[in-house]
Structure 1
């Protein structure tokens, strides 16, 4: 079952149709379901069962994938998750090494191995890749969605620069519940994978197969440090900065600010204070062939 948001339109629909033709050539039977409103992908995934399909394929971005994993977790859990990456950042595609080319995507969905992975959870809401609080979440909450559809990642860069001037940068208090250690930070991002923002790798090991989260703490505030951290992310050096700390654990609590947003996989999923942990549920994901 392929789930697609028809408002994506344009080039995204053309890439989807090419992928479906390749799937047909591989002998795959496909049922296409189109969403009409936010939350439909979660409902479709929750209702899916092994008697109807073996894979729920999300044709979209990481936010729609987030809906799907929450639906699968609430459903029978009998179906695997596949993706046709049509989003802005496509972080999951980078995480599992999946090309965006229709022929490669179809081959992965038809022939790739299925692997069981761990999920993260923030206040009961599952996340696949990351959950963040502080500056990171403030940008996600206020990014112009219409502009995002036109210029993609550029909308996040513009909002990042705007928030760097306007944001108050409240101090976050992050506690690693495994050890009881508490740290202070301007931004805190719990990684379930290794990547953030697209192809940018933050940590070298761990990832979706590990039953742990990597809590990345960015400790300094202000526009200069926002730009410095962004440069470190783009060059692969962020985790080596002296004012960046990475804590590995199974559960973290975060407090600070006044009802500040918490983003998960690029959508707002909670407010502070929050608790982020490794979810009890696991799901199966279709990976590309090695």
Structure 2
């Protein structure tokens, strides 16, 4: 008996690589008794709408693309209220969730993870509107993404981040904001902040080895320093997994995080690499919300 599977694919992911390998992916899945319904995205939001389709009776939804496609699929599945399993065929720039879950980047091996059918329950975070599975960043990285999205004309590669990162590095003014975790004020003076659900941030950066996707908590990092040298120090600390040891970094864990800006500045935040909005905002954890296909 076949298993119904919806494959939601971003055809421009990987510079068109997703489209190139699509016939082989379909062959592998169909050969293993999957009845595949293919959906190709054409614009932002398509993947979420498709994953949330109330008429679907599929048992598995697979995101084929980068972390942005995965984020939309996760939001769609959770919005639908259906308890279906989500799989990943990673064809993106960073593939952070795939790396966090040890899902292979090789498409044949990632298809085998789906076929094997081993699932894990995974926490997700959310603001007042959307879910995130990796992290939310307040301040610096959100400014980078705001610049990137204002000038983006096509797909994303590591090179497309270079100019937005450099511009933000030179111009970032370290806006101050207030943080409260589980009702406890942590004082004012933060200039950059991460609310993380996973160990990995992006690329080679692992913020902390203590974060777990199934511990029912968020890992919160509050960076209080200022200046260009301090930003480089934080990057060094993240690269070597020691940022939480710095005197001007506060690391706590919690279930609810409230953040508001001081001096009425419009401080942006991002979620899973896409712009989220501006402060004030509340972030909460939703324990064991998602069934994700992953290696044992």
TM-score, L = length of structure 1 = 0.90
CA distance in 1, matches of 2:68, 2:29: 24
> 1:149 offset after TM fit, Å?
2.9
Q: Does 1:33 align with 2:39?
A: yes
Residue of structure 2 in register with 1:24 after alignment:
30
Distance 1:137 1:265, change over 3 A: same
**1:198 CA drift (Å):** 3.2
In the other structure, the counterpart of 2:278 is 271
Does the aligned pair in 1 maintain the 2:9–2:18 contact within 8 Å? Answer: no
1:215 aligns with 2:220: yes
Given that 1:16 and 1:102 are in contact with CA atoms closer than 8 Å, whether structure 2 keeps it comes out as no
Structure 1 138/95 Cα, relative in aligned 2: closer, same or farther at 3 Å? same
CA contact (8 A) 2:200 2:207 kept: yes
1:43 aligns with 2:23: no
Provide TM-score, normalisation by structure 2.
0.89
Matches of 2:154 and 2:214, distance apart in 1: 31
Q: Cα offset for 1:178? A: 4.1
Per the alignment, residue 3 of structure 1 pairs with 8
What SS does the corresponding residue of 2:35 show, helix, strand or coil?
coil
Cα distance between partner residues in 2 of 1:134 and 1:174: 13
Deviation at 1:41, TM superposition (A): 0.8
State which of 129, 139, 160 in structure 2 corresponds to 1:134.
139
Measured on the aligned residues, the alpha-carbon RMSD in Å equals 2.2
Distance in 2, Cα, partners of 1:175 & 1:282: 24
Aligned-partner Cα distance in 2 for 1:20–1:223: 48
Structure 2: segments with no counterpart, 5+ residues: 1-5
**Partner Cα separation in structure 1 for residue 137 and residue 27 of structure 2:** 38
Give the C-alpha shift of residue 261 in structure 1. 1.5
* Residue 15 (structure 1) shift: 3.8
**Alignment deviations for residues 231-250 of structure 1 (CA, whole Å, 9 cap, x no partner):** 22223322233322211000
Q: Which residue in the other structure is 1:255 paired with?
A: 260
| Per-residue CA distance 1:205-244 (angstroms, 9 max, x = gap) | 2321111100111221222222222222223322233322
CA distance in 2, matches of 1:258, 1:219: 17
Counterpart residue number, 1:284: 291
- Does the Cα contact within 8 Å between 1:4 and 1:34 map onto a contact in 2? yes
Change (3 A) 1:12 1:235: farther
Is the partner of 1:132 in helix, strand or coil? strand
Q: SS where residue 255 of structure 1 aligns? A: strand
**Cα separation, 2, equivalents of 1:238 and 1:16:** 40
* Equivalent residues, number: 287
